[in-house]
Amino acid sequence: MDDSLNGLGSKKVSRKDFLDLAVAASAGLTAVGIGVPILTYIWPPLEVTTTAGQKVKIAGLKDITPVKAKAVMFNNKPVLVINTGDNFIALAATCPHLGCVVKWDEPAGKIMCPCHGAAFDIRGNVLGGPAPSPLVPVPLTKAADGIYLG
Amino acid sequence: MSYLDLVQPTAGDRLAVRALKATARFLEDRIRLVSLVDFLASKPVPHDLNWAYTLGSVCLFLLANQIVTGVLLALYYRPAISEAYESVRHIEEEVTCGWLVRQLHAWGANLMILALCFHMARVLWYGSYKKPREINWLIGVGLLLATLTFGFTGYLLPWDQLSYWASKVGTEIPGALPVIGSVLVKVMRGGEEITGATVGRFYTLHTLVLPGIVLGLVFLHLAIMRYHGITALPGKEHSRKVPFFPHHVMKDAISIYLTLAVLYVLVVVSPWKLHEKADALVTPEGVKPEWYFLWMYQFIKYFPQQIGFMSGKVVGIVLSSGVFGLLALAPVLDFGEGRLIQQRKLFMSLALAVLLGVLSLTVLGYICERDISLLGTTIHFDIKGFPEKVTGK
């Protein structure tokens, strides 16, 4: 048998050591018993988004004229829908830099962030400024009666 | 044993222990923290203190429970009448462990008032409020009043039928007082009726004002207690002293764990129900205040409409409030030096008479306007608690 294990096995546990351990174990168990419910309580309950997994109509085909944009909330997040002239594009409107909501700058033909000047092209690619990554595209469907997200 | 010795690292210490001790020494050198803990823990206490001496710590534990669960409830509770009830329902039904937190708060409040009463009864029984401890007794009476106000203001917040109507009746009572009555009711309610303004006021009192007052008073209470030391049992003033830690702390811990067990059993076996949402047009039957106000509520009922030039209700309110006055004046009324019961016969008889009166009124308050069935016989008790109609098999 391993010597160190042998040494541990034969070590005499004093009354004080045993009591110390018992008190520490009780205190630990109490802390866990109190801490776990508190942590689970603090954790926000599941957000109920009625539209999760569903397609949502956000505009009619003629509501957004060419090279104009519309900002909509989709599943509690802002989305920018742009009519490029030949098609529709939907991008998550949250700037990847620090979370401000970006705007379509029609005269400049760019998407701009009002906070720190990040600039994106019409497809969401970074043109300049502090944004570390492009804007994330959101699935969009063009149907006969309008534009759907999701 | 001193805690300062414990923070000196030894050769046998492991790295984690050495780091802990170094931190303790760092804090000791700057803010004398270890000396403070040492001062508090080495407080000499009589070795023969009984279990009744742990009731103060039980109150403190229940206060901690109220603070922790109260803060947690405030994360989801919304103090507006359009949302209050729904937010409590959300806590009960949707938030993980929400039911547990709410029930611990509701039952904790009741147990806290009960523990305070027992703690004060212990102090009264042993005459522990005698010189030099009169001021600490007064602080204790202040803490009782603040805790009762806590109970009263918290009761309205779930905004269900029971809480609404109990608060309505409760805030109506001071309205009988001459001159200041109507002003008092208006200030308490934030208007003529119980509305969203009342919820706002009660919520502010319950979560901002009262916690500040209670924590301040508790700090004073404990500081003065540490300064005077715990009173010995009457007649055993010269018994041997032992340090507070670990001797008395162990006893306190056992009482606190027992309280926690009782609290959990009550929470699981008999949870507080959330009734229907408050409706200002429908009064439910048999509206009564919480058990700790029942005796006052019942007492006022026995007074006639008019006594001489005064309203009977006012006389009832003044007399029942007098119980708190008597409690505050206990060190004055019980003026002798002796703390043994046989040296305080007159005062203790008065105290017992008042206690019996309060207990009987509480029982009468509970059974009035109720049908009580016992051994196949059903007795209906009228508004004053007298048996009215008996129906048997």
DSSP string, B35-91: HHHHHHHT-EEETT--GGGGHHHHHHHHHHHHHHHHHHHHHH---STTTHHHHHHHH
Any domain includes A68: yes
Q: Looking at residue A50, what is its pLDDT?
A: 63
Distances (CA, A) of A2 to A5, A6, A8, A13, A94: 5, 6, 10, 20, 60
Boundaries of every domain in chain B: 40-297
Any domain includes A140: yes
The position carrying tokens 């397609």 is A55
What residue in A sits closest to B102 (Cα-Cα)? A41
State the complex-level ipTM: 0.83
CB within 8 A of B46, min separation 6: which ones? B230, B232, B233, B236, B239, B240, B241, B242
Any domain includes A111: yes
| Co-location of A12 and A64 in the same domain | no
pLDDT reading at A8 higher than 90: no
Contact between chains at A40 and B96 (C-beta distance less than 8 A)? yes
Section A108-115 average pLDDT: 95
In the numeric block, which tokens belong to residue B86?
């729904």
Q: Looking at residue A1, what is its pLDDT?
A: 45
Q: What is the DSSP string of B63-76?
A: HHHHHHHHHHHHHH
φ/ψ of residue A71, rounded to 5: -95, 130
Contact between chains at B96 and A38 (C-beta distance less than 8 A)? no
Range of the domain at A10: 3-42
Contact between chains at B101 and A37 (C-beta distance less than 8 A)? yes
| Co-location of A94 and A123 in the same domain | yes
Fold (topology level) of B40-297: Cytochrome Bc1 Complex; Chain C (1.20.810)
Which three-class secondary structure state does DSSP give residue B389?
A: strand
Q: Spell out, as residue ranges, where chain B has pLDDT lower than 70.
A: 1-2, 392-393
Q: How many CB pairs below 8 Å do chains A and B form together?
A: 23
Any domain includes A8: yes
Quote the mean pLDDT of chain B. Answer: 93
B249 min Cα distance to partner chain A (Å): 12
Q: Looking at residue B175, what is its pLDDT?
A: 85
| Co-location of A73 and A36 in the same domain | no
CA distance B380 to B382: 7
What residue in A sits closest to B93 (Cα-Cα)? A45
pLDDT tens-place string over residues A76-93: 899 999 998 889 999 999
In the numeric block, which tokens belong to residue B200?
């706002």
What residue in A sits closest to B90 (Cα-Cα)? A45
Q: Chain A contact for B373, CB < 8 A? A: no
Distance of CA A77 to the CA centre of its chain: 9
Residue type, A46: L
pTM confidence score: 0.87
Of the candidates B90, B199, B208, B215, the one whose C-alpha atom is nearest the C-alpha of residue B155 is: B199
CA distance A29 to A23: 10
Please tell me the total count of domains within chain A: 2
**Which residues of B fall within a CB distance of 8 Å from A40?**
96-97
Any domain includes A47: no
Q: If you compute the radius of gyration of chain B from its CA atoms, what whole number of angstroms results? A: 25
8 Å CB contact between A67 and A106: yes
Quote the mean pLDDT of chain A. Answer: 89
Interface of A with B in 63-122 (CB under 8 A): none
A100 min Cα distance to partner chain B (Å): 26
Any domain includes A49: no
Q: Which string of b and e fits B162-186 if b means at least 16 CB within 10 Å?
A: bbbbbbbebbebbbbbeeebeeebe
Q: Chain B contact for A43, CB < 8 A? A: yes
Q: Chain A contact for B97, CB < 8 A? A: yes
CA distance B335 to B338: 9
